[in-house]
Structure formats: C-alpha cells, structure tokens
Amino acid sequence: MIQSRLSRHAAHRLAHVRLGSRAADSIRGGASDSGVGPLIFIECALAPGILGYVRPLLDPQSAVEDPASARCAIFYSITNCQVGLRGVSFGNFLIKQVVEDLSGEFDKLRKFATLSPIPGFRSWLMSHREMMSEALASLALDSPASLAVIPDDLRDEIMRLCAYYLLRAKRGRAPADLVARFHLANGARLARLNWGGDASSHGIASSVGITANYVYRMADVEQNHEAFAKNYKVVSSFTLARLAREVKTPA
C-alpha cells in the first residue's frame, strides 16, 4: 500500500511524501524498522505567483507569506529515496496527487508550477559556439562575475539559445534536457525562463544560472502527455516558441 503525507517545513514550504506500507512514521524520525521508508519526496512552496529564483526558497531568513492566501504552488525538488527505484518515474501520478491534496487544503491555489534547473544547457552551449555571435563565443560564462557584466544584447542572445535548447535540441527524438523530458512527459507546459534564477556556482556551471518554470494545468496534462508520448511534442508558451525561432542555425 502507498500512502501520502504532507509535512510542513515552514509556513510556506511543504514536503509531500509517498510512503511504502508500514512506513507512515518514517517522515517523523527517519526510516522505520518495520517499513521500507519514504519512496519519493516532492517539495513545494506556496507563493502569490510563479517564482523564478532559487535563493529565496532556500534561505531560512526569507519572509514567510501566509499560506492560506497563496495562489500558486511551486514544486522545486523531486527526490527518489530508494536506490532500487532510481530511474523509475512516479512523477505523473505523484504530481496529480499533490495537486489534489494541496487544492483540498488551500482552496485559493490556482496555479501549479515548477522551479526547475536546466542541467545540460551550459554544456550544450559551449559545444555549439558556431550558433553564437562572436562577442558571445568569446565569453567564459563560468562565474557570477562574468555574468554580471554581460550586456543586455548578449543576455538576450543567451536566453534565445536556451529556449532553442529546450525546444529543439534532441537526444534521439526526445528533448536533450533531462529535466525537460521528465516534466514534458508528465504533461507540463514549458512556460518561462528566468535569467539569474540560480546564481550558485552549480547553477552557473550547469545552466548559466537560468531556471525554467513548467506549468501543470490539470485540464491539459493528459493531452500534453499524449502529445509528448506519441510525437515528443514540446508544449511551450508563445514567448519561448518565438525565442527559439529567432535563433539562426548554421547552414
């Protein structure tokens, strides 16, 4: 039997846990002697709207909003806890369950979205310098200092290339980005990119500090999932589709 449980970290942050049988007590004090322990954690924040930046979510000194007034739930971490189940996707089933549970407890919630990394972007970008302008290709893009002095036109170019990467770069027929594949396969829509969303050293090394928001609209999840499963269609916002089209590929 699988059970669900919501656990409050703070007034605006929640952990949703799917537990194995006889493991309901594991969330309180570690793995249970009699059960298998938590199978998967999904952590979310309750906010007035879609968030684009990681730091306020993880900073314990951040201002705490009243969760009862939140309009948006932001999923920012999904962790498979059992080694033997690594690579097994619980995402679609779990996210639907989280939406139902949160909607039942917080009746003002209207949007459900992620704050996601783009782990393959910088590596892809550095291996496709022929798609960059000469000015951009000359930059290292490897530190907060290097990103802080980028002029607006080059920042816009990076954002266009990031949209292109998520919508058009492929591994086989599927999107090249691992996180994109997960959320798109589960019926989400790629909605927004955020410059400087993760300014940590890891965020810069993996995604030039950019984060992505995927939106789960329950009325569209099944249709989006089917479109991806059959044709690997990337459902995205008009803005990101336009940015991807603006990238000029080498002849």
Residue positions annotated with a catalytic role: 116, 183
Q: Residues 6 or more apart from 76 whose CB is under 8 A from it?
A: 43, 44, 45, 54, 57, 114, 115, 116
Integer angstrom CA distances of residue 225 from 101, 173, 189, 212, 217: 21, 15, 10, 19, 12
SS (H, E, C) 48-75: CCCCCCCHHHHCCCCCCCCHHHCCEEEE
**CA–CA dist 219, 92 (Å, integer):** 14
**CA–CA dist 188, 182 (Å, integer):** 9
* Secondary element (H or E) of residue 34: none
Residue in the structure block whose two tokens are 């300014």:
199
Contact 161, 126 (CB under 8 A): no
Q: For the chain, what is the total number of helices (H) and then of strands (E)? A: 11, 9
**72-80/111-114 β-pairing:** parallel
